Amino acid sequence: MAPPSRCFDNTMNGKTDNGAVPVVVDTQQQSPKVLDPEEFRRQGHQVIDFIADYYGRMGDYPVHPNVTPGFLRSLLPTEAPSRPEPDAFGSALQDVRDLILPGMTHWQSPRHFAHFPASSSTVGALGEALTAGINVIPFTWAASPAATELEMVVVDWLGKALHLPESLLFAGGGGGTLLGTSCEAMLCALVAARDNKLSEIGGNRIGDLVVYCSDQTHFAFCKAARIAGIQREHCREIQTCHENMFALSPTALQAAMKADVDAGLVPLFLCATVGTTQTTAVDPIGELCAVAAPCGVWVHVDAAYAGSALVCPEFRHVIDGAEAVDSFIMNAHKWLLANIDCCAMWVKKPSALVAALGSEPEYILKDAAGVVDYKDWSMALTRRFRALKMWLVLRCYGTDGLRDNIRSDVRMAKAFEDMVKADARFEVMTDRKFALVCFRLRSPQRFGGEKTANELNRALLEEVNAVRSGPYMSSAMVGGIYMLRCAVGSKLTEERHIKDAWEVVQDRASSVLGKMETIYSVHC
């Protein structure tokens, strides 16, 4: 290879006229083509084959890895390479297969019942790839007109499919957007409500604002309230009870608001939940709206998980009274076949969002009046073209296909619930509303009854999750009761996985009870 040519200007014996050592430039070195169509085609086929093989071999992986902190860091170099190795992409995929996947919790596993689903579909995954490849930034209408208008079309399509009130849709004077997560959406709604209220009572009274939720509301709400400037002690987490299936009581909410008004405070915001994380409790939306209305409280509905079920008419009743809410969110990436991330938010008055989150300075690509600039609907200016993925899912599966998927999961959850009820050693702890079953092993009186029930079930969950082949489940502590959670939702789950999971639970229950029998017989 010829030596690199040296490009010196005004040099004297290898030095510049000011005595500095010149920079050596290798004019033969070529920068890599990072958007080479043919290389993309080749590597793209590798990725598709890799993912297809991963789904096909999902059953070979333990759902939850048995690793210790630092396991992966010890296997990888401490610094990034300065130059790529030959076939760097192929080598990296091999490391994904051999080093990374064995240390993952496999959320798409048919035996993953611990969390609400992170739903995946071939169309959703390919839509995500298409979005990444096109890689536009639709922060204003002019920045990507079709992206903005497709998002407006998609949120109305989705809202109609979910049987939402027309007042939340663009078609009815409201409107929606696609964000990353429900946590982000909560914060946007809170900031809009805060600024709207302060415009009425004066900005100096921010310290008097109070927000409300139940003790079952996701902790992200109180975090969002703190970020929005609400004092910690002004986040009212109203206690729920087992007798009411852990739903927020309108009577308790009314009492809390009255006490705050009497104390000179200002009720601001209510976060009602349809499908709480721990037990899928459903707050009575219509009754809560009636309580909140006299105080001018912004009512927000968090339906992150269960909102997907609204695509089925038989679940529409869980949001009775939603015509009165101010904002509504659901995560299509949880249970509606849109890969992460894709949170849909609808608001009755988009102007409240724009007033609170809009950007005042003039930006390049400033739009004409009357169009939607989605940068003014959320915290971030840079945003992703999520609408393309959601549009593909709706087009390729259709609303009937989405209903079929939801109903299939609900049927399998009911089958699991029926098996629990058929074994007298167990009990179902909450009414199953969607595809989550909360249950526990009864503690016999000779083992202490209720006094030892929680510890008995902790031991049961540990044994269930220690079975390498699965299933993988989780727990909830609600109202002082420790219970196991079996959430059905992976698109790879079949009835046989449900039956296998229950057999493992029964087998491990026999083991735990046998150990208890030995302990108590020795002590006696």
CA distance 202 to 210: 15
Residue 336 included in any domain = yes
Please indicate, yes or no, whether residues 193 and 239 belong to a single structural domain of this protein. yes
Worst-scoring range by mean pLDDT, 124-138, 350-364, 445-459?
350-364
Cis, bond preceding 110 (omega within 30 deg of 0):
no
Please indicate, yes or no, whether residues 57 and 146 belong to a single structural domain of this protein. no
Average pLDDT over residues 316-320: 97
Average pLDDT over residues 130-145: 93
CATH assignment of the domain containing 79? 1.20.1340.10
User: Which structural domain range is residue 472 located in?
Assistant: 403-523
Average pLDDT over residues 347-360: 92
Residue 395 included in any domain = no
pLDDT at position 259 over 70: yes
Please indicate, yes or no, whether residues 176 and 288 belong to a single structural domain of this protein. yes
DSSP string, 427-472: EE-S---SSEEEEEE---GGGTTHHHHHHHHHHHHHHHHHSTT--B
Please indicate, yes or no, whether residues 470 and 433 belong to a single structural domain of this protein. yes
Residue 392 included in any domain = no
List, for residues 100-116, the tens digit of each pLDDT value.
Answer: 999 999 999 999 999 99
Percent above pLDDT 90 for the chain: 85
246 to 183, 202, 275, 304: CA distances (angstroms):
22, 36, 11, 17
Please indicate, yes or no, whether residues 483 and 408 belong to a single structural domain of this protein. yes
Residue 273 included in any domain = yes
* DSSP single-letter state for residue 282: B
Say if residues 125 and 51 touch (Cβ distance below 8 Å): yes
Residue 351 included in any domain = yes
Residue 5 included in any domain = no
Please indicate, yes or no, whether residues 262 and 369 belong to a single structural domain of this protein. yes
* pLDDT at residue number 403: 98
Say if residues 116 and 335 touch (Cβ distance below 8 Å): yes
Please indicate, yes or no, whether residues 412 and 310 belong to a single structural domain of this protein. no
Worst-scoring range by mean pLDDT, 85-89, 161-165, 193-197?
85-89
Pairing type for strands 327-331 and 436-441 reads unpaired
Choose one of 352, 384, 416: the last residue of a domain: 384
Pairing type for strands 235-238 and 209-214 reads parallel
Q: Please report which confidence band the pLDDT of residue 365 belongs to, taking 50, 70 and 90 as the band edges.
A: very low
Say if residues 282 and 318 touch (Cβ distance below 8 Å): yes
Q: Please report which confidence band the pLDDT of residue 371 belongs to, taking 50, 70 and 90 as the band edges.
A: confident
Average pLDDT over residues 396-423: 98
List, for residues 468-497, the tens digit of each pLDDT value.
Answer: 889 999 999 999 999 999 999 999 999 999
Contacts of 59 (CB under 8 A, 6+ apart): 109, 110, 111
List, for residues 11-35, the tens digit of each pLDDT value.
Answer: 445 444 555 555 555 545 566 688 8
Please indicate, yes or no, whether residues 59 and 182 belong to a single structural domain of this protein. no
Choose one of 52, 76, 111: the last residue of a domain: 111
* pLDDT at residue number 3: 39
CATH assignment of the domain containing 423? 3.90.1150.10
Residue 391 included in any domain = no
Using DSSP, state whether 302 is helix, strand or coil.
strand
* pLDDT at residue number 59: 84
Say if residues 476 and 281 touch (Cβ distance below 8 Å): no
Average pLDDT over residues 264-289: 98
Number of domains the chain contains: 3
Residue with tokens 């793209």: 44
Please indicate, yes or no, whether residues 259 and 374 belong to a single structural domain of this protein. yes
Residue 118 included in any domain = no
List, for residues 380-402, the tens digit of each pLDDT value.
Answer: 889 999 999 999 999 999 999 99
- Provide the mean pLDDT of the chain: 92
* pLDDT at residue number 10: 44
Please indicate, yes or no, whether residues 374 and 417 belong to a single structural domain of this protein. no
Residue with tokens 């987490």: 237
CA distance 16 to 176: 62
Model pTM score: 0.90
Please indicate, yes or no, whether residues 66 and 144 belong to a single structural domain of this protein. no
30 to 25, 27, 34, 38, 467: CA distances (angstroms):
12, 8, 12, 18, 53
Average pLDDT over residues 119-127: 94
Please indicate, yes or no, whether residues 84 and 222 belong to a single structural domain of this protein. no
* pLDDT at residue number 74: 95
Higher pLDDT, 517 or 166: 166
CATH assignment of the domain containing 268? 3.40.640.10
